[in-house]
Structure 1
C-alpha cells in the first residue's frame, strides 16, 4: 500500500528498506566488482591468457547486459523483494556451480549466468528505495545505496585472495555464493514494496523512446571505461607489470572501494544541496579523465607516485553512480522507475560487458595505451552529458526553493506491511 509523507513508523521504516536494499546489492557486488581480485588465481587455475582473463572477468557483466531491462520491467509489476530474492538465489546457485568448473568456456558460461540472475538486484533494490524517500533526500539515499558496490568490492577484494590461497578458486566461489544467498534472505525479510497499479504501468516502455535516457545512459556509461580500467585491472597490472604481490595489489583495490563509500555518499549529499545531478556528474567526469590520464602517463613511474594516482582515479571512478541512478529515475518519473533503471543499467552494461576484453586486448600490447583508452571514456561522456538539461523533478525542486521553506518534493511511500 502507498501512503504520502515521511512520518511515523512508515517514515522510520524507510531506513530499514535502505539498509536491506544496500545489503542485498553488496552481496552481489562482492562478485560483480571484486572478482578482479581473483585475477591471478583465475589465470593460474584455468591456465588463461591475459585476453581470456579479461573475458572471464567480463562474464558477469555480459550476463547482466541481457537481463537488466527485463528485471526492471518485472520490478515495476511485482513486489521488489521477490524479484531480488529470486535473482540472488539463482546467482548463489550458479556460483556454487562455478566452484566445480575447470575450463575457460565453462567458467565463462557460468559467470554469464551469475550476472543474468544477479542483475535483479540492480533495478529492483533502487526502485524499492526510491519509493520511500522524497526528492530532498534522494541523492543521499541513493548515494548510500550505491555504497553497496564499493562495500561489496572492498570485502571481496580483501577476502578473495586469502580464500584462494587457502582453498583455491573453489572456496572463493563458494564464499561468493553464500554472500548472494544471504542477500536474498535479507531482501525477502526486510524489503517492502508492491506491484504498481494498472495506471502506473500502462507505458513502461516510454524510457526506451526518450532521447534523454539514451544520452544519460550513454554519457555515464562511458565513465565506466575508467572505472573498469582502474578497478578491473589494477591487481593484474601491479602483479604482472610492476611485480607487486597479489595481496598488496588487492589491498589497494580494497582501499579504493573503502574510500569510494564516502565519495558516493558525499556526491549524493552535494547533489541534494545543489538540486542538481548533472552538474556534479560532469565535474566528476572531467576530474576522472584527468587522473586516469595521469595513471597512463605514470605506468612505469615510481610506485610512490603511481599508487596515489591509482587511488584517486579509482575513487573518482566510483563516485558518480548514485547521481546517474537518481537522474535516470527523475527523468522517467516514479511510475516507470524500474524500467528506467533497468534501461539505464543496460546501457551501462554494454560497457561493463565490452570494456574488460577490449582493455585486456590493448593491455596485452601496451598497459599505457590501455589506460589512455580508459581515460578517453569519461572525457567523451562529459561532452555527451553537456547536451542534457536537469531532470524535470530536480528543476521543479530548484524553482520551489526559497529561504525558510522546504525544498522537498513529496514521495509515494510504503507502509512496512
Structure 2
C-alpha cells in the first residue's frame, strides 16, 4: 500500500485482534492478565504509571536491529547502520540500540546532544537535514562527528567557511535528490524533484567537484533518502541507487575522492495488513545496484526498527452512544499520537482486558478529548463494549509517536516505559503541570 491507510473504513475487513497480536511477537494475550508486552501485563503498567503512556519492547527493538544488520551481512555488504532518531529519541531506546552496534542519524543540535548523552560516539553520528544552523554546524565540527550530509551549494559554502574559521576539516557527503517517486504519502516523500531535500542529480557532479575544491571540507561520498514508510516494494530504491551508482562512476572518472555511499532509510512497516519489503529485499537492492563499486554503504532506518516496538496505552474516559455513532473517548489524544490526525494513518487498536479481547464487537469511532474534530484515531472500528476505565492499546506507535507529541490543550507529555522480559522501567517521567508553566512569566505592566 503506497500511503498510510485512511481513517475511514477500508474495503476489506480490519484484521482480527488475534491477527494483530500474532503479527507482533512482543505481544500476547493472557487468559488472566489480558494483553501483555513481553512478560508484563499492560494493566500492571497502567496501574503503576497511569495513562496515557508510551510502552516500548526492548526485545522487539533488539530483534529488529539484528534482523537488519544480519540481512546486510548476509548479502556480503560492508555496511553500517545509523538509527534515524527523529523516529524515537528516547535516551533508553538509543542506549539499547547503541549496544546493538547502531550509530545515530541526527537532524538537530538537540538530537546530537541526546545521542551523545546516550553513549553513542561522535564517530557513529551522521548529521542530516536541509536547514542546519551555524550553531549546529559548529557543534558538529567541535564534536568531530562521522559525517555531515550537505543538501545545497549554499550549505556547502557555509560548512567550508565555518570549518576554515575553526581550523577544522568537515567530512561531508553530498545529498542527492534522484527524482524518484517512492510511492509513499505526499507529506513524507523526499526524493522527488519538487521536494526540498538534496541537490538535483543533474547538478550533483558539478557540486561535488566544487566541494572538493573548497577549504575545510573533505568530500567523503554521496547520500540519498527518498522517503519514509516505503511499502511498495524495493523498485524505487533500485532506481535511486542505480542513479547514485552512475554518479559515483562519474566522480571517480574525474579522480575525485569518494569513500562511501549513504543509502538513507525509509523502509516501511505494515500498520494494518499491507505488505512491506523486508530487510533482505533492501539489502538485495543495494547489492544489485551498488555492490560492484567496492564502497562501504550506510543505512539510516528509523520507523522500521522502532515503529512496531512501541504502543500507546490509554484509558477510556467515557463511551458515548449517540443516535448514529458510538464514540469511545480515550484519555490519549492527537497531541499524544498525531499520525492519524496528520496523515489519516491507521493504527491497530486492541482492548487490554482478557474478556474484552473475546467479547462481541461493533463499530465505534475512537476519539480523544482535544477540542478538534480531527482528534480522531479511528472511524467505524470494530471493538467490544468499552465502558469508562477500560484500557486500550494503539499499536505500532514506537516511531513518530512521542517525538511528534505536543502539549496542545495544556496536556502534559505522556511518560515512556521500557519493558524488557519480566521487568519494566519508566524511562521518561510524565510531564508535570508545573512544568507546563516553567519559563513563562507575566510582564510587570500587566501586574499593575
- Where is the strand percentage greater, Structure 1 or Structure 2? 2
> Normalization by structure 1: what TM-score?
0.27
**Higher relative contact order (CA closer than 8 Å, sequence separation 6+):** 1
